[in-house]
Amino acid sequence: VTGGFARSVVNFDAGAQTPAAGVYTAVGITLASLFLTPALYYLPQATLAATIVVAVLSLVDFSILRKTWNYAKSDFIAVLATLVATLTVGVETGLVVGVAVSLALYLYRTSRPHMAEVGLVAGTEHFRNVQRHTVLVSPRVLSLRVDESLYFANSRALEDRINNAVASRPGLEHVVLQCSAINDIDASALESLEAIGLRLRGAGVRLHLSEVKGPVMDRLKGTEFLHGLSGQVFLTHYQAIHELSPEVV
């Protein structure tokens, strides 16, 4: 890279590999200033502007719009908002708009986390989504995997999912949260877990956890949640199913 964005592009296109390119550039500018100033002095500014545009034009890549549209619509929205704001208002505003839209989309996406009921793949100790694979399940046990860290924006979604499951399964005795994808649980989510535990206890259903990550468990150990947990914390989900519904294993 060099002093400015346009100059960095020229440097790259020229094949520069090391900072020594800056030395050669400085020498070239010095010689041009000393000997070529009379020839360049009368060039209109539009010509200089066109030179910069041509240099930066190699960075324009509209294919990213098609790629992001095909891959993730949320990323496409962020890219498009940044592009439109940059072209109509300015670079600084475009960057701010891009960051704000990205944060808003992140909150929207993580507030609706992917939660999958999982079952045991026959002959293995692996658990997969019941809607994607042929697996073994027990009507007495709900195994639920949450594929997102739990925080204030999505804790209500977890409550609703478990409440609906309990209401639709009168024979349910155990709910096991597979926490392998949960990297963090904030204070709001912890309150939701406590509320879920109390609600399940009142319905005669025990709440269990499995595959809790070390840092998450370290934080939970300092709370009342584990002391009031009606069920157990299992090292693996297979261990939980082996103990709670051995007929499946």
Whether 143 and 192 share a structural domain = yes
pLDDT of the residue at 249? 82
- Where is the domain boundary, 94, 110, 126? 110
Domain count, the chain: 3
**Is position 249 within any domain?**
no
Q: How far apart are CA 145 and CA 168, in angstroms?
A: 18
pLDDT of the residue at 22? 85
Q: How far apart are CA 83 and CA 104, in angstroms?
A: 17
Q: How far apart are CA 231 and CA 201, in angstroms?
A: 10
Whether 133 and 180 share a structural domain = yes
Task: Please give the model's pTM, rounded to 2 decimal places.
Answer: 0.73
Asked if residues 148 and 105 have their Cβ atoms less than 8 Å apart, the reply is no
pLDDT of the residue at 57? 80
Whether 201 and 84 share a structural domain = no
Q: How far apart are CA 220 and CA 147, in angstroms?
A: 19
Measure the CA angle with vertex 119, ends 111 and 143; round to 5°.
50
Residue 9 vs residue 66, higher pLDDT: 66
pLDDT of the residue at 214? 94
Whether 79 and 96 share a structural domain = yes
Q: How far apart are CA 38 and CA 113, in angstroms?
A: 66
User: Nearest 5°: phi and psi at 196?
Assistant: -65, -45
Beta bridge partners of 29: none
Per-residue confidence band for 60, with pLDDT thresholds at 50, 70 and 90: confident
Q: Tokens 């964005």, residue? A: 5
Measure the CA angle with vertex 115, ends 112 and 119; round to 5°.
170
- Where is the domain boundary, 60, 75, 98? 60
**Is position 232 within any domain?**
yes
pLDDT of the residue at 99? 95
- For residue 67, what are the domain limits? 61-110
Whether 188 and 68 share a structural domain = no
What is the tens place of the pLDDT at every residue in 133-189? Answer: 999 999 999 999 999 999 999 999 999 999 998 899 888 999 999 999 999 999 999
Nearest Cα residue to 135 out of 122, 117, 146, 149: 122
Whether 35 and 67 share a structural domain = no
pLDDT tops 80 at residue 120: yes
